Amino acid sequence: MKKIFALATIFIALGLTSCKKDEPSTSNITTSNVTTTVSAGTWRVTYYWDTNRDETANFNGFNFTFGTSNLVSASNSLFTINGTWSTANDNSKVKLILAFTTNANFIEISDDWHVIERTETKIRLQDVSGGNGGTDYLTFEKN
């Protein structure tokens, strides 16, 4: 009987730990490593959620280059949109700040985004709007 109880306890413990939801780690998010990550290679938007709708398609075909002197360019086969970028800390949260002055779609993503996940190939961003209270999400993935 003791063996059955011990085995049941082990299976329950294993079941509880294996059901734990994996959350992205925030320990690898610093202004330094976000800057280093985005500066390497070209990136594409794989997800853009604007408050209540998916607007990812607005960025299809664009490759983003986060260059030196905090200049960012987004190019497709027809044209290039230029802007600026930087990183900063805000209330212990790392931000990626984007600023474009032309093209309505790019002006839409001009904001100070909180970095909620960073890997060598993906940057996930979130912005909670102060005006209407909506939440936007923007994901860049390395090409």
Residue range 45-60, pLDDT digits in tens: 999 999 889 999 999 9
Contacts of 119 (CB under 8 A, 6+ apart): 28, 37
Beta strands in 12-103 (DSSP E): 42-50, 53-54, 63-66, 71-75, 80-90, 93-100
State the average pLDDT over residues 7-13: 42
Decide if pLDDT at 91 tops 90.
no
Which tokens hold the place of 29? 């998010």
31-142: CATH, from 3.30.420.110, 2.40.128.270, 3.30.1330.10, 2.30.40.10: 2.40.128.270
